[in-house]
Structure formats: structure tokens, C-alpha cells
Amino acid sequence: MKVRVGFGFDVHKLVEGRDLWLGGIKIPHSLGLLGHSDADVLIHAICDALLGAANMRDIGYHFPDTSADTLDIDSKILLKKTIDLIATKGYRLGNIDATVCAERPKINPHVEKMKECLATVMNADVDDISIKATTTEKLGFTGREEGMSAYATVLIYKD
């Protein structure tokens, strides 16, 4: 069995007039994340981690923010396509450990629903997906509530 690890990071600015999508679900909040797609910072970090683990570059390479095909796209579609991409090299998901960094809204009440959504999209076991939340203690751009970031580490494998 061949095992590989990948790391992903993403950040998006918080703005008025956009829905807040995290981990594939819509979370009630007065601000949303700005991006070419739905700007789901958590899914984007996971995609980058998966692609990196498979040595397949990054999310921007496969789904450029200059493409009309990805304008306002649901990031769950990008995640499913990423799972399909790593499968072309024989890889399957082992597990994900991810962290969302935001002052508000509170992420923890939504974690189980996010895990269920991501598991469905990736045809994975919910127990193989860990999502945590943290703040920056009011420091930096996340602390000032200017944006959110997410980090993801994944393990992929092939027999």
C-alpha cells in the first residue's frame, strides 16, 4: 500500500451580500465569503490538500478563477471532481483533519452537518473527517473579522 499526506490552506475575505458556505453547508451569518466560486474556504483547503498529496498541483490549476465554468460554482462540485482526479492516479481518501479559523459565527454548532455533507460528496465515512474551529483571539485579519481561513491535512492511499 502506498500512503501519502497533503496539506492545504485557503483564505477568503468576508463581505456583505454573499451567503456563507462552509464545509458544503450554508451557515446563517450577516457576511459571506468573497470569491469566484461560492468561496467555501474549508472545501478549497481540502481540495488543495488532496491534490497536493497526489502531486497534482493545486485547486487554481484545475479550477481557475478566470474560467466562466467555475464562476459561482458550488464548491461541493469541485470537491467531487477533486476526488475523481486523485482516483485517476489510483488514490482514495484515508482521512481529513481540518481547521476553520474565524471569530464569528461560531463554527462548532455546524461541524456535524459539515462532516455529513462532505462524507456524502466524497463517498467517505463521517468518522474519517475531522473538522475543528478556532479563532485568532481577535488578532490579524480573522480577528478583525475581515476574512476566514482554513487548513486541511489529508491522508490518501492506493493499494
Binding site listing: 10-12, 36-37, 44, 58-60, 134-137, 141, 144
Separation of CA 122 from chain center: 12
**Which residues, in sequence order, are bridge partners of residue 9?**
151
Binding residues for a divalent metal cation: 10, 12, 44
Which of 34, 40, 28, 30 shows the shortest CA–CA distance to 14?
34
CA distance 50 to 118: 13
Q: Cis link prior to 105 (omega < 30° from 0)?
A: yes
The amino acid occupying position 82 is T
CA-based Rg of the chain, rounded to a whole angstrom?
Answer: 15
